[in-house]
Structure 1
Amino acid sequence: MGCRILLIRHGETVWNKEAKLQGQTDIPLSEKGIQQAVALSKRLSDRKIEAVYASSLSRAIRTAGFIAEPHHRQVQILPDLQELNFGNWEGLTFKEIQQNYSELSKTWWSKPLETRIPGGETLDELAKRSNRAIKDIVLKHNDQTVAVVAHGGTIRSIVGTVLGIDLNQYWKLRQDNASLSIVYFHGWDKGILELYNDCSHLETV
C-alpha cells in the first residue's frame, strides 16, 4: 500500500529557451512546450492516473491539462507547488545575474537554502511548502497513482528531500522540460525514487 507520484516538469517556455529565470513570473508554454506536453500525455495515456495536480502557474496548469485529458480528470491547483520566487532576478539570464549581483550570486549558488534573493524567497522556504504539498497528496491518495506537474526547483527540492541529500547541492539534479520522474511512497517518510528526468518521449519533438 502506498502512493506513486509522477513528478512532471512543465513544457518549455520562451524564457526557458532564452535561459532566463522565470520563478513565479507567469510565462506560458511555447509551441515546442505544447508539443512536449502532448508527447508526454500520449506516453501516460495508458497508465491509470487517479488525480492530476499542478502549481498555480499557467505553464504547469497547461501541461497538466494535456496529462489529465485522456484520464478524464480535473486539474487540481496547489499554489505550494510553484517555482522558487527569484524576486529581482526573474527575467534575467544567469550571465546578467552574475554581472549585476556578483557576490550575492556566489553566495546563493553555495548556500541557496538560507540565502534570500532580493524580493524573493530562500530555497528552504520552497522546500518546506513543496514537500508539505506532496505530503498532503500522499496521505490523500493511498494505493493510487497521481500526476503532479510543477517546476524544476520544486521537483529538485522534493526529490532531494526523498533522497536525503544536502539541498544546497540541489542544482546538481538536472530537470529538463516535460521530463518524468517517479517516486513511490510506502509512507510519507519512506519514498523511493523509481525514475528520474526521463525524456524518452521527447525524442521526436
Structure 2
Amino acid sequence: MSRTATLTRVMVIRPGATDFDDQGRMKGSLDMPLSERGEQQVETLAAALADIPFKTIYCCPSESARATADRLSEAHDVKVKVVDAFKNVDHGLWHGKLIEEVRRNHPRVYRQGIDHAEEFCAPGGEGLMEAKARVLKALNKCVRKGRDEIVALVIPEPMASVVTSLLNGQPIEDLWRRETDSASWELIDTEI
C-alpha cells in the first residue's frame, strides 16, 4: 500500500527589526528587543496577515520573535508556542559585527557567504549546516502537528533562511542579504 504525502502550508515570518538590524549588524543568537521601527513593522505585518487562519504560532525564544508572535497571536486569538530549537544561529565572535565591516575586512569570507552560504561559520560560532541539523527535528514536529492548516513560524534571520531551505529543498543563497529582519513573510507548501 502506497502512502500519499500530505501538503502542509508553512508561513515563515521574520520578526520586526531590532537596533542591530537597523544598523546592519549581525545579531545572530543575541536576544534583543524590537526597535521603534521594528514595532511599526510588526503592526503593519499584523494588519497584512489579519485574514490568515493560524491555529498555532511557533516562535524562536528571542525577544524580537516573541514580541512579533505575541502581536500576531492577539490579532488571531491563538496560542504562541516557543520552540528552543528555533534559536537563531550563533555567530560566535562576530555577534554585533557590521556586515559592511566583514565585506571590507574579510573579503574572502564575505564572498563565501554569497557563493557558498551553507559553508559559512563565524569564528567561534555555529555553521549553517549545523543549524540545519539542529532545527530539523523540531521543524518536522511542528509541520506534522499542523496538517490541514497553515503553520506559522516566527523565526529571525538567518535561521529563517535555514528553515526555508529545509522546507523548499533549495540551498541558502547570499547569507548577507539574509542577516537582518524587517517583518517579512513567505508561504511555503511542503510535503510531509
How high is the TM-score relative to the length of structure 1?
0.79
Q: Could you tell me which residue of structure 1 aligns to residue 94 of structure 2?
A: 89
Matched, 1:36 2:38: no
Gaps (5+ residues) in structure 1? 189-205
| Structure 1 segments (4+ residues) deviating >6 Å | none
Q: 1:102 Cα shift?
A: 5.3
Q: Which amino acid aligns with 2:47?
A: K
Moved more, 49-58 or 88-97: 88-97
Q: Could you tell me which residue of structure 1 aligns to residue 15 of structure 2?
A: 10
Q: Could you tell me which residue of structure 2 aligns to residue 193 of structure 1?
A: none
Cα distance in 2 for residues equivalent to 1:43 and 1:107 = 35
Cα distance in 1 for residues equivalent to 2:79 and 2:138 = 18
Q: 1:171 aligns with which of 172, 175, 178?
A: 175
- Is the 2:118–2:171 Cα contact (8 Å) retained in structure 1? no
1:49-198 alignment to 2 at 5 Å?
Answer: 49-98=54-103, 101=106, 104-167=109-172, 169-171=173-175, 177-185=182-190, 187-188=191-192
Q: How far does the alpha carbon of each residue in 1:50-94 deviate from its partner, in whole angstroms, 9 at most, with x for none?
A: 101110110000000011112222211112212211111111102
Cα distance in 2 for residues equivalent to 1:170 and 1:103 = 13
- Is the 1:21–1:86 Cα contact (8 Å) retained in structure 2? yes
How high is the TM-score relative to the length of structure 2?
0.84
Helix, strand or coil: the match of 1:35? helix
Q: Which amino acid aligns with 1:148?
A: L
Moved more, 27-36 or 100-109: 100-109
Q: Could you tell me which residue of structure 1 aligns to residue 3 of structure 2?
A: none
Q: 1:9 Cα shift?
A: 0.3
Q: CA RMSD in A?
A: 2.3
Structure with the bigger RCO (C-alpha within 8 Å, sep 6+) is 2
Cα distance in 1 for residues equivalent to 2:11 and 2:100 = 33
Q: 1:103 Cα shift?
A: 5.0
Helix, strand or coil: the match of 1:181? strand
Q: Could you tell me which residue of structure 2 aligns to residue 203 of structure 1?
A: none
Q: In 2 relative to 1, CA 43–107 (structure 1 residues): closer, same or farther, beyond 3 Å?
A: closer
Q: In 2 relative to 1, CA 12–172 (structure 1 residues): closer, same or farther, beyond 3 Å?
A: closer
Helix, strand or coil: the match of 1:134? helix
Cα distance in 2 for residues equivalent to 1:81 and 1:29 = 18
Percent identity over the alignment is: 26
Q: 1:108 Cα shift?
A: 4.9
Q: In 2 relative to 1, CA 171–182 (structure 1 residues): closer, same or farther, beyond 3 Å?
A: same
Gaps (5+ residues) in structure 2? 1-5
Task: Give the paired residue count.
Answer: 186
